């Protein structure tokens, strides 16, 4: 019995961490793709033109140049409407992106439940009790008591810890 426990839990902790990390990485990558695709070259060009037209219109503040300033403002307004239409088309793409995010969230929930059922009552890792001194009992929740005098880590605390670390890694390296 002890041999099968060792075989099942020897690589369990790193594999669970890897699964949790991948499940946190997928939405972050989708968000990066969304951000990268949200500002097209056409939108950037339109924004620059609008800014330039408004700048020129504000520079024409003399009564004799009022007609030119009004014409520039009307042109800027037309370009803003064109930009708004472009953004509406982009919002339709974002709607499909949201569907993917919901699917990933559902996959994440199902995977977490499957991992919990699979590893319930089995220690994922064992550490010396001094290493886990203040949190030993909380980390061994759902894994049983100490094994051979060592503190154990259960699946639920390991998933929570892995999720936190994965979020931190994704935030630091995927900006």
Contacts of 19 (CB under 8 A, 6+ apart): 111, 115
Q: Is residue 7 scored above 50 in pLDDT?
A: no
Contacts of 111 (CB under 8 A, 6+ apart): 19, 23
Q: What is the mean pLDDT of residues 140-145?
A: 60
Model pLDDT, residue 93: 66
Here the tokens at position 11 are 């690589």
| Of residues 150, 43, 163, the one with CA closest to residue 108 | 163
Q: Render pLDDT for 85-115 as a digit per residue (tens, 0 to 9).
A: 877 777 666 666 778 888 889 999 999 999 8
C-alpha R_g of the chain: 28
Separation of alpha carbons 166 and 159, rounded Å? 10
Q: Are 155 and 122 in contact (CB under 8 A)?
A: yes
Place of tokens 């839990």: 9
DSSP 8-state code for residue 63? G
126 DSSP β-pair partners: 152
* The model's pTM: 0.60
Question: Among the residues of 39-154, which ranges form H helices?
Answer: 41-59, 66-119, 136-139
Pairing of strands 151-153, 125-127: antiparallel
Place of tokens 């909380």: 138
Could you count the other beta carbons within 10 Å of the beta carbon of residue 163?
17
Per-residue pLDDT band at 48 (split at 50, 70, 90): confident
| Of residues 150, 169, 172, 174, the one with CA closest to residue 20 | 169
């Amino acid at each position: 019995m002890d041999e099968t426990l060792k075989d099942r839990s020897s690589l369990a902790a790193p594999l669970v961490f890897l699964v949790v990390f991948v499940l946190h990485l997928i939405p972050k990558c989708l968000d990066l793709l969304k951000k990268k695709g949200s500002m097209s070259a056409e939108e950037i060009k339109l924004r620059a033109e609008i800014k330039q037209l408004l700048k020129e219109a504000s520079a024409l503040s003399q009564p004799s140049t009022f007609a030119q300033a009004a014409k520039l403002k009307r042109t800027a307004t037309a370009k803003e409407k064109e930009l708004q239409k472009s953004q509406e088309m982009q919002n339709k793409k974002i709607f499909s992106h949201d569907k993917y995010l919901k699917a990933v969230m559902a996959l994440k929930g199902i995977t977490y439940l499957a991992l919990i059922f699979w590893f319930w009552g089995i220690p994922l890792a064992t550490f010396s009790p001094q290493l886990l001194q203040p949190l030993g009992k909380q980390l061994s929740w759902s894994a049983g008591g100490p094994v051979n005098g060592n503190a154990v880590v259960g699946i639920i605390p390991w998933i929570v810890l892995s999720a936190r670390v994965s979020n931190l890694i994704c935030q630091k390296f995927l900006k």
